[in-house]
Amino acid sequence: MKFTIRARLATAAMATILTTVPAYAEDLNVILFGMPYTYGLAELEDDFEAATGLTANIEVVGQDVFENRITLSFTGKTGDIDVVHTPVIQVQRWVEAGWLHPVTDGVNGMDTKDDILAGPLDAYLVKGDYWALPFFAETGMMSYRKDVLANAGYDHAPTTWAELLEVAKAVNSDDVAAFAMRAAPGQGFNMFVFPMIMRAYGGKFFADYPNDLTPAINSPETLEALNLYIDLINNYGPPGAGNFNFSEVAAAMQAGKIAMFVDGTSIVAQSLDPEKSQVLEHMAIAAVPEGPAGRSPAIAVHGLGIPADAPDPEVSFKFIEWATSEETLAKIALAQPFPDFTRASVAANPEVIAKYESINPDFLNLRVEMLNDAIGHYRPLLPQWPQIGAAVGEHINAAVNGLESPEEALAAAEAEMAELLAE
Amino acid sequence: MAQVSGVQPVLQRSYRLMLMPAVIAVLVFAVLPLMGMFWLSFTGFDLVKGWDTGLTLENFTRLADDRRFIGSVWVMLALSGFGVVAQVTAGTLIAVGLEKIIPRWRHVRGIFVVPFVVPHVAVALIWLSLFTPTLSPINAFFDLFGITVPAFLTTRWGAISAIVIADTWASFPFVMLLILAALQGISTDLDEAASIDGASKMQVFWRITLPLLKPALLMVALFRFIETIKHFPLIYVMTNGGPGRATQATNYYAFIQTFQNSKVSYGAAIAVFLFIFAAIISFWVARMNSRLSDA
């Protein structure tokens, strides 16, 4: 008797739970983290339904929530994600862990494969397979204030890092700091921008990537680059620059508080945003400065991939094909500050050209030039890179803020790289 | 199960049944994950490399040699120590002020609770902008007088202070509410008797109010201590653990090991350390508290 009462209670409880939890109503669950493209895509759910007859639930979350969410889903093999935001910087690690489903057949079967920019697409080629379709290819660029430079007698942007330091000395004032750059520690923060200086001075992460992965960051070349980076941030940057991330850099530029910065194209585009910039009429853009070893603009590629446990990879592929199509990319390029599209045809679209020309006539051409100069392994494509980049970034930041000397920081970074690779 | 005294035996069973959902919830949502965490900490689970389910003590022996871990414990102790002192002091002073000095202001008490309901990520964003000199109205104000406010987030102790200040702002209302409740439980007869005997307000506070508040202060400090060792959003948003590694507290380090370095079992071992640490502190405070109540 007792048992039946309990059983009945339990059944009632289960029934209540089951009726209040809605079943997944959509055909596809897409999880992305916030950036202009993903915000734009989330508004096009109806377009996807009109194009394919399928429905999608596009969820855009913060990057930290994203990491936790996908890690739980992938390790728990829950199969609840059909399409996942796949940054190139993670793809090696995810492939190694067996978290992704290859999309090689789908990509090779596309009529418009040749329209996709080759560099970003090939970044997803790991172990002979494609693992995602790129929607975003960001590169490095400089943004500066013509008026501030002109007042100091410079009629053009500095073309080398040494010249940039010279200009910084000439233009720095209490009201307008000469320079800013990301300095906050992180694989995607200071380690997205610092290698632009490091590689320009001939510094490198490894002895001979990818053949000889002996850590080689502790070199005179990298030390010279690090000293320049520290000098620029501490002596010619705004107060507090040692903790600046891209949002603080962009905000300082929009408020007219800095004269020059070097960052990714998406941040440079924000400095040219007519709605936000208080000094728009003075803004100009230029190439990433060169060093003794040439120019090395940053590159970051994001794409859409299919989790290994997605229930129907063919349906998932239909989504990523649509989401990275010429039509969708052009729509988002027009609706959002999104000049980082990955198809040649979008760059040739008159409306897109008109929009970005009105902001800055050189922007799209300069972007292509920088993309051509960028090397694919700007940040080494290794499964361990996310943790190596984070550890190195912490030492670089410690050196900027005086917690370690530049020599100590590079020695410690090299030792930790070796430890992480040996594990 | 023991009989609930003074309740008819027929009702006993329904009482127990009604307790069941709570018991099941605790088992499913607290005890099981905790056991899972303990088990994980004795295995070798790496998100990328996969499972090595053999039981091992390696994660714990590694902890003892891990300088980053030991450094993170010091950061945690600094954040928690200064944080608890600041929050308990601020919360208590405001509670005593509201109850004893300006009791007529009862209706404005709600305002003081506002920071407590702001989500921690939002708190972190607010204070990040206040501590970023180019964005901060504080810096802009002092600039008018030619005074340069130093940049907090680029020095070790500046960044630790910044997190303590943000956490104090967000958490003093919790202390204030509990201390207000405790104050209202103290009979005003004692204050009156002391005043009649000629004690000043300060003397009443130091000699009567504060000693009577001790058990409540201890408990609230314990709650805050346990909360502060779980610091995460403030660090993640305000400093990313920087400058260098100066604000990587132990809980943040567990996150780095688990999610960034994929070492789930090692992260679990750090979490086990935190659990045992919190348990020891709680046990110690509970004993002190019972001694106080016996005295």
The Cβ-side half-sphere exposure at B77, using a 13 Å CA radius, reads: 8
- For residue B195, the model assigns a pLDDT of 84
Question: Are β-strands A28-33 and B50-52 bridged in parallel, bridged antiparallel, or unpaired?
Answer: unpaired
Our CA-based measurement puts residue B186 at a distance from the nearest CA of chain A, in whole angstroms, of 44
Maximum distance among all Cα pairs of chain B, rounded to whole angstroms? 78
How many distinct structural domains can be found in chain B? Answer: 1
* Domain spanning A8-137+300-365: CATH 3.40.50.720: no
What is the gyration radius of the CA atoms in chain A, in angstroms?
24
Pick A55 or A118 by higher pLDDT. Answer: A55
- For residue B196, the model assigns a pLDDT of 87
- For residue B185, the model assigns a pLDDT of 86
Asked, for residue B44, whether it belongs to a domain, the answer is no
Structure token digits, residue B98: 């509201």
What is the rounded average pLDDT of the residues B67-72? 94
Minimum CA–CA partner of A10 in chain B? B21
Chain B residues with beta carbon closer than 8 angstroms to that of A383: 48
Mutate to test the interface with A, among B67, B240, B256, B263 (most CBs of A within 10 A): B240
What whole-number distance in Å separates Cα of residue B225 and Cα of residue B162?
A: 18
Pick B61 or B147 by higher pLDDT. Answer: B61
pLDDT tens, residue by residue, B18-30: 889 999 999 998 8
pLDDT tens, residue by residue, A263-293: 999 899 888 888 888 999 999 999 999 999 9
Maximum distance among all Cα pairs of chain A, rounded to whole angstroms? 95
Helix (H, G, I), strand (E, B) or coil at B233: helix
Strand partners, A59: A31
DSSP conformational letter for A290: B
pLDDT tens, residue by residue, A90-119: 899 899 889 999 999 999 999 999 999 888
- For residue B7, the model assigns a pLDDT of 65
Asked if the Cβ–Cβ distance from A243 to B159 is below 8 Å, we say: yes
Q: Domain coordinates of chain A in residue numbers? A: 8-137+300-365, 139-298+376-422
Nearest to A403 among B50, B246, B262 (CB): B246
On whether ipTM exceeds 0.85, the answer is no
Asked, for residue B199, whether it belongs to a domain, the answer is yes
Chain B residues with beta carbon closer than 8 angstroms to that of A245: 240
Chain A residues with beta carbon closer than 8 angstroms to that of B243: 185, 242-243, 397-398, 400-401, 403
Reported as a pLDDT band with limits 50, 70 and 90, residue A22 is very low
- For residue A312, the model assigns a pLDDT of 93
pLDDT tens, residue by residue, B192-217: 888 888 888 888 888 888 888 998 99
Asked, for residue B74, whether it belongs to a domain, the answer is no
**Average pLDDT over all residues of chain A:** 90
What whole-number distance in Å separates Cα of residue B267 and Cα of residue B141?
A: 44
Instruction: Spell out the CATH class of A139-298+376-422.
Output: alpha beta
Asked, for residue B224, whether it belongs to a domain, the answer is yes
What whole-number distance in Å separates Cα of residue B245 and Cα of residue B74?
A: 12
B66-70 long-range contacts, Cβ below 8 Å, gap at least 24?
A: B68/B245, B68/B248, B68/B253, B69/B250, B69/B253, B69/B270
CB B36 within 8 A of CB B242: no
Reported as a pLDDT band with limits 50, 70 and 90, residue A19 is very low
CATH for B167: 1.10.3720.10
pLDDT tens, residue by residue, A158-215: 999 999 999 999 999 988 999 999 999 998 899 999 999 999 999 999 999 889 999 9
Name the residue range of residue B105's domain: 81-248
Same fold, A8-137+300-365 and A139-298+376-422: yes
Pick A307 or B99 by higher pLDDT. Answer: A307
Residue A11 has pLDDT above 70, yes or no: no
**Average pLDDT over all residues of chain B:** 88
